[in-house]
Amino acid sequence: MFEVNGVYTNRIGKYTVVAINSPKMVVRYEDGTEAELNMRVQSRIWENIVAEQQEKDAKEAIRRARLGTVHNKFYIKVISIPDADELMFPGWHERMVMALGEDPQRIQSGDRIIYYALEPQVFFAVATITGEAKEANPKDYFYTIDQPMAFFFPVDMDAFATLLEHGMRADSVELESYPKFRNMRLSPEMFLEISEDDFELLAETLTEVSEDEIDEEDEEEEFEEEEDE
């Protein structure tokens, strides 16, 4: 992906590729200093930075849309994840959430959701509903509920903890919308409407968690590069 004279960015700053001798390349930073870098590691860092910028752009677009639409709502989406060591549950990889009962009628594109893992009692992801509901067989998204059809909403993931242990525990936050949230009887696939203030509280913390995980991953890659050299 790298080309001579191409301009890219890593955690140090912008640089221009001076020479390529795979798997290494020589780069020159804006201050004139040069360095020999591992192309595989720098490719991963560049992709992460591009993804972060795209995420910021998407959030800004959502913010502008929300300023023009006062009807968007905020929800906690309850998910069952029996195995707390693995972030795996129906609809996750397909970026689809199931809605039952009256939920398909009250949820709309642009609404924001916070994912909550029922068994470990952890908030772990922030997402935005990006389209209208469509009816489909739950088995298409690996659900095992005993009904032939259900409604599903597509979502974009704004931020999430790759490990549930990095998420936000329910006993560490007080929600004005549900002061006794920890004592509520919750069931998988519930949508609980919350206030914008509660949503922003949870979303801000989870976004920081997501960014910290990316930084740690980049640091590990850079450390591996130094070890290789």
- Residue 187 half-sphere exposure, CB side, CA atoms within 13 Å? 2
- Residue 67 half-sphere exposure, CB side, CA atoms within 13 Å? 6
Structural domain count, the chain: 2
Average of per-residue pLDDT across 76-80:
96
Rounded CA-CA distance 114/198 in Å is 10
| In the predicted structure, residue 203 carries a pLDDT above the cut 70 | yes
| CATH code of residue 52 | 2.30.30.140
19 & 85 share domain: no
Exposed / middle / buried, residue 76 (Cβ in 10 Å: 0-12, 13-18, 19+): buried
Whether residue 227 lies inside any domain: the answer is: no
| In the predicted structure, residue 3 carries a pLDDT above the cut 60 | yes
90 & 203 share domain: yes
151 & 203 share domain: yes
Instruction: Pick the closest to residue 126 from 46, 219, 194, 179 (CA basis).
Output: 194
Rounded CA-CA distance 183/45 in Å is 42
Q: Residue 50 belongs to what domain range?
A: 1-70
Whether residue 154 lies inside any domain: the answer is: yes
Rg of the chain, C-alpha, whole Å? 21
Average of per-residue pLDDT across 60-80:
76
Q: What is the pLDDT of residues 106-159, one digit of tens each?
A: 999 999 999 999 999 999 999 999 999 999 999 999 999 999 999 999 999 999
Rounded CA-CA distance 186/100 in Å is 15
| In the predicted structure, residue 54 carries a pLDDT above the cut 80 | yes
The residue with greater pLDDT, 26 or 63, is 26
105 & 205 share domain: yes
How many H-runs (helices) and E-runs (strands) does the chain carry?
3, 12
Rounded CA-CA distance 226/131 in Å is 45
